[in-house]
Copies of this chain bind each other. A is one copy, B any other.
Amino acid sequence: MSKSIATDPDRLLPAEPAVRQVARELVEVVEGFPILSPHGHIDAAMIRDNTPFPDPATLLVSPDHYVTRLIHASGVGLDQLRVGGTTDVDARTVWRHFCRAWPLFDGTASGYWLRSEFVNVFGLDDSKITEANADALFDDLQATLEDPRFRPRQLFSDFNIEVLATTDDPLDDLAAHAALRQDAAFGGRVLPTFRPDAYLNAFTPDFADRVERLVATAGEGREGLDGYLLALENRRQFFIQHGAVSADHGVRTPLTLKLERREAEELFDKARRGTATAQDRDRFEAYMMYEMARMSVADGLVMTIHPGSFRNHHGPSFDRFGADTGHDIPVAVNYTEGIRPLLEDFGTAKDFHLVLFTLDETVFSRELAPLAGFYPSVYIGAPWWFLDAPDAMLRFRSAVTETAGFSRSSGFIDDTRAFCSIPARHDASRRVEASFLARLVAERRITLERARELIVDIVDAAPRRVFKL
């Protein structure tokens, strides 16, 4: 097997030899540290049941919109990739499309971790990923996936994962999480995350039904907004009892609003009756962000906000293949004004942790670093989504550190649906952090001794501290 760039000890490290040497030393410091993943999209049941992985295409391609979208952009229909549960073609056809498109991933974030996954998890020779070789590769990978050593639990252990948070519906019974906690044979921590978007956005399909179920389940017989808020509080408690440390919010904008009770009740009624306008929807969601912050102050769940994505941009693709199919597109956001009502009341509340994410890089230096540089509650979320990429991570650090230092950021978030990509992502993050610190050392802005402490803080202490792990 030819030597792959994915195994090169200097991968992602800066080229200048003296800086690279420092970066190497810093990478070594944290090499053996466990993986802490406080936000992501892995299915807890898969780990509980130790479900064997399906074929390579179904594992690596069809469900992951970071992979399918670039293949789609090259002219392959989503129906040819079994996206959204479609089965117009077989898995092997999907795999052939992937192998043909593989060169398009060069230089991309997804290409980086896919290569690492192929080489370092599955032991492939990455020079063999070619269209001509697609079928043979499919068979090889299939054989590997059938090996018991490639079951989720073994990999969880091999990957050295200590904490893995999932993302869950407020009415989820969290049975998988409960089972894992009680399973003496399982050493990791799999934590649920409270994600109530569908119960807060009045335009969600079936909003009224969802809310009705929520209130029926946990409203203690109360009605109206009272019952709704109480039910949310109760479900948060249920999540906390099952180990949850955070509540996550995917919203259109970072707007927050403190409303008079009466207006809140009116908006809630309109939302349930299906008569809310777009503006009503926005105001209600903004109001609920305020309420969610209030609840976080009371119950201690870390509040995380992911705004600024225009979801399902291409209607025809959404209609046929559903959500999360590659065409959520970012828009500019205004955190400074949007988040103010929330921070006015809760920004300095004791033990409140609010992690702010963005897809709009311009807010890093302009808004997030200044906010986190003053408010004790605010932490700057790791570069999200399209930004899980070495250059973008460096831009992030460069943009926020000079104002907010290292203590005000969240630590790395992998946010992934791709279980087997987790080690590659965390490894990449550590290498990039080491590269940034090494440059500061070379420029005499911090000492090497201090850089060795900081890399430990960034990789290990920060996520524990910020997410109360």
Binding site for B on A (CB under 8 A): 5, 8, 10-19, 69-70, 72-75, 103-109, 111-112, 310, 313-317, 326-332, 334, 336-337, 340, 343-344, 347-348, 359-362, 365-367, 369-376, 378, 386-387, 389-392, 395, 398-399, 401-408, 439-440, 442-447, 450, 454
Contact = CB atoms under 8 A, between A and B. Distances in A.
Nearest to A75: B376
B367 A104 contact: no
A447 B314 contact: no
Copies in the complex: 3
Given A107-B440, A403-B389, A404-B70, A361 B372 contact: no
Given A15-B18, A314-B348, 12 more contacts: A11-B444, A70-B373, A70-B408, A72-B376, A73-B373, A107-B401, A108-B404, A310-B336, A331-B336, A362-B366, A365-B386, A365-B392
A207 to B, nearest CB: 23
B406 A107 contact: yes
Nearest to A7: B444
Contacts of A406: 104, 106-107
Contacts of A8: 444
B11 A332 contact: no
25 contacts: A10-B443, A12-B443, A14-B443, A17-B18, A70-B408, A74-B407, A104-B405, A106-B405, A107-B401, A107-B402, A109-B402, A112-B445, A314-B344, A314-B347, A315-B344, A327-B374, A329-B367, A329-B370, A329-B374, A332-B332, A332-B366, A362-B366, A386-B403, A387-B402, A391-B401
Given A19-B15, A75-B376, A313 B336 contact: yes
Contacts of A16: 15-16
A316 B332 contact: no
Contacts of A446: 5, 106-107
A371 B251 CA distance: 20
A311 B340 CA distance: 12
Nearest to A457: B103
A405 B108 contact: yes
